[in-house]
Every structure is written in structure tokens, then in C-alpha cells.
Amino acid sequence: MSLVPEMATLVEKRYLDPHHSLFRFIFDNELKREGFGFRPGQFVMLSIFGVGEAPISITSGPDEKGFIELCVRKAGRVTTVLHNLEENSKVGIRGPYGNGYPVEQMLGGNLLIIAGGLGIAPLRSLIRYALWRRDAFKEIYIIYGARSPENILFRGEMENLVLRNDINCLLTVDSTYGQPWNAHVGRVTDLLERVRMPLKDTSVAVCGPPVFYRFVLNKLLSLGYSKGKIYMSLERRMECGMGKCGHCVVGHKYTCVDGPIFTYWDAINLPEIF
Ligand SMILES: Cc1cc2nc3c(=O)[nH]c(=O)nc-3n(C[C@H](O)[C@H](O)[C@H](O)COP(=O)(O)OP(=O)(O)OC[C@H]3O[C@@H](n4cnc5c(N)ncnc54)[C@H](O)[C@@H]3O)c2cc1C
Ligand code: FES
């Protein structure tokens, strides 16, 4: 696999909240544009020429062809310049990297997706994958929590999911901060009590900030979910994204190649994780 990025064009930029925007890119090379395939949970290395590179999860669905979408928080050097780019600007993209969610193993079972804040980015890709082939899953629950109503990323999309009658989508905020909101107020863990599906055959995909993991994982274990079927995304500092530089190593694992998706069972056996 090459370290040389493919040239891509920013074709659309959508404001999501004061810190996050959605960026849609198309590869300039037509073969790459049509042939680019990935699994939900994989990431790309996005480069802004003259500034640097950052690993970013692909948030569009793998069945949507011709473009990829990234949901990006303005965090530091690369992402701040990205947020200031005009449409039609050029960037570099290499990848996809990482293992992604084991979607083939999830097919045929129940799916529980739990996101906190920006954790929705890789999970939006998994949601799109599952809804594209809705009949291939049994029950689907999506639980998404954010700090306040204005921090619910993809709010319109998420509210449309709530209206669907073939899945259960539950939204919550820590506080309304006086903003209009007609869904739950409280922790994601409160909503886990409402999930009604057999634990057997249920895959759980969790992504969110570190403190969110701590509470959600404890709750899932207390409810009896299997450690081997809880999938979490581990983010570590990355340079190459492809197992060459060693920056992302935790214990004996390269999080860029062996991850970023790990079962809870595998993650608890890694040093420095909990
Ligand atoms: C597999 C993977 C997928 C990711 N997906 C997304 C995504 O979909 N959307 C998104 O907005 N961000 C995502 N990130 C995080 C993103 O790569 C970092 O925020 C990155 O540092 C941004 O680059 P920057 O140059 O703008 O910030 P920098 O100038 O590098 O740093 C900004 C701040 O973030 C800290 N930081 C850098 N990397 C990490 C890290 N991995 N974990 C914790 N703190 C870090 C730095 O110490 C600094 O304080 C992902 C990271 C990984 C490893
Ligand atoms: S980022 Fe270089 S080895 Fe993982």
C-alpha cells in the first residue's frame, strides 16, 4: 500500500455545529473514484498540502459510490485549515486503513449502535451499511447522546431515524440548555434500559469520548452483553496509518492495522486502555 496520497476535491462542506462540519470529497482520478471501497469503521489519512495529515473515519456508507464524506472536529493544525477551505479546494487522501467493523459477522443478528458526540462519525457509516440491507439484520437499535440539542450532529438525519418504524432510534442530551428539544434528557446509559431485544445474537458497536466508554461499557456488562460482541473504536496518535512507524502501538497491537475496532474482550487485554 502506498504512502502517496491521491488528489481529491472538496465538493461540499456542511456546517453541523460550531465545532464540526461534514466534508464531501471526490477523487480526481476516475478509477479511484469509482473503485474506492471500504468497511464501516475504516479511516483515511487526510492531508492538507503544506500543513500535515490527520487520520479521519469515513462517515459515508460503503454503498454510496463516487464520493466519501468525513465529519471533522476543528481540533488542531490540519483540521482548522480544513474547516477554512473553500469548496473546490484540493486535498490528499490515502487509505482506507484499519480493520473496520466485522460486518459479515454482524449480519443476521441484532445490532445495537451506541454513539456519544463525535463518536457518531464512524457509526454513521455502520448505520448506513445496516439500513442499506435492512432485511439482513433482525432488530436494530441506535442510541445517540450529545451534550446539548445543538451538539446533536446530523440532527435532521437522526430525527428521521427516530421516525422510522423498522428500527428504534433514541436520542438524548445531557441538558437542553434552554434549547427546544422533545426527546430524552439524561445519560445514554438510561436509554440502554429501554432496549428490548434478546442479548443472544446481538452485536454492539460503541464509539464516543473516553468517559462515555467507561459508563457505557460498565452498563452493557451489567445488562449481560457479551464482551466478545461489544466493538469499540480505539483512537491513538497515528502517523503512517499502515503499520510502519510504530506511533500507534499499544501493547503488542498496531491500532492502525489491528484496529481501530477492537472487541471489548481484546481491548481489556491491552495495557493502558482502562
Ligand atoms: C482512527 C482515527 C479516526 C479518527 N476519526 C476522526 C473523525 O472522524 N473526525 C475527527 O474530527 N477526528 C477524528 N480523529 C481524531 C483526529 O485525527 C485528531 O483530532 C487529529 O489530531 C486532528 O489533527 P490536527 O492536525 O487538526 O490536530 P493536532 O494539531 O494534531 O492536535 C490537536 C489536539 O488533539 C490531540 N490529539 C491528536 N491526535 C489525538 C488522538 N488520536 N487522540 C487524542 N488526542 C489527540 C493533540 O494532542 C492536540 O491537543 C480520528 C483519529 C483516529 C486515530
Ligand atoms: S500509525 Fe504508523 S504504525 Fe500505526
Q: Domain containing 45 — which CATH number?
A: 2.40.30.10
Tell me the per-residue pLDDT of 203-220, one tens digit each, with 9 for 90 and over: 999 999 999 999 999 999
Query: Is this model's pTM higher than 0.85 or not?
Result: yes
- So what's the pLDDT on residue 69? 98
d(CA 12, CA 113): 27
Do 109 and 77 reside in the same domain of the chain?
no
**What is the per-residue pLDDT for 176?**
97
Question: Is 23 a member of any domain?
Answer: yes
**Domain range spanning residue 132?**
103-233
pLDDT in tens, 13-53: 999 999 999 999 999 999 999 999 999 999 999 999 999 99
Q: Tell me the three cell numbers of residue 258.
A: 489491528
Q: Average model confidence (pLDDT) for the chain?
A: 95
Q: Quote the ligand 2 centre to 159 CA distance (angstroms).
A: 37
- Residue 119 is predicted with a pLDDT of 98
pLDDT value for 273: 65
Protein residues with CB under 6 Å of any ligand 1 atom: 43, 52, 54-57, 71-73, 75-79, 118, 121, 235-238, 260
Q: In total, how many domains does the chain have?
A: 2
**Whether the predicted pLDDT of 274 surpasses 80:** no
Residue 158 sits in a domain whose CATH number is 3.40.50.80
Residue 92 lies inside a defined structural domain of this protein: yes
Do 200 and 107 share a structural domain?
Answer: yes
Identity at 258, one-letter amino acid code:
D
Per-residue CA distances from 267 to 169, 257, 264 (Å)? 27, 14, 5
Q: Are residues 148 and 172 in the same domain?
A: yes
For residues 227 and 194, membership in a common domain is answered with yes
Residue 267 covered by a domain: no
Residue pLDDT, tens place only, 111-121: 999 999 999 99
pLDDT above 90 for 125: yes
Task: Calculate mean pLDDT across residues 102-119.
Answer: 98
Q: Is residue 90 domain-shared with residue 36, that is, in the same domain?
A: yes
Any atom of ligand 2 within 6 Å of the Cβ of 256? yes
User: Ligand 2, from 97, 235, 238: best to mutate by most atoms within 8 Å of Cβ?
Assistant: 238
The per-residue pLDDT for 114 is 98
What pLDDT was estimated at residue 1?
Answer: 65
- The grid cell for 260 is 481501530
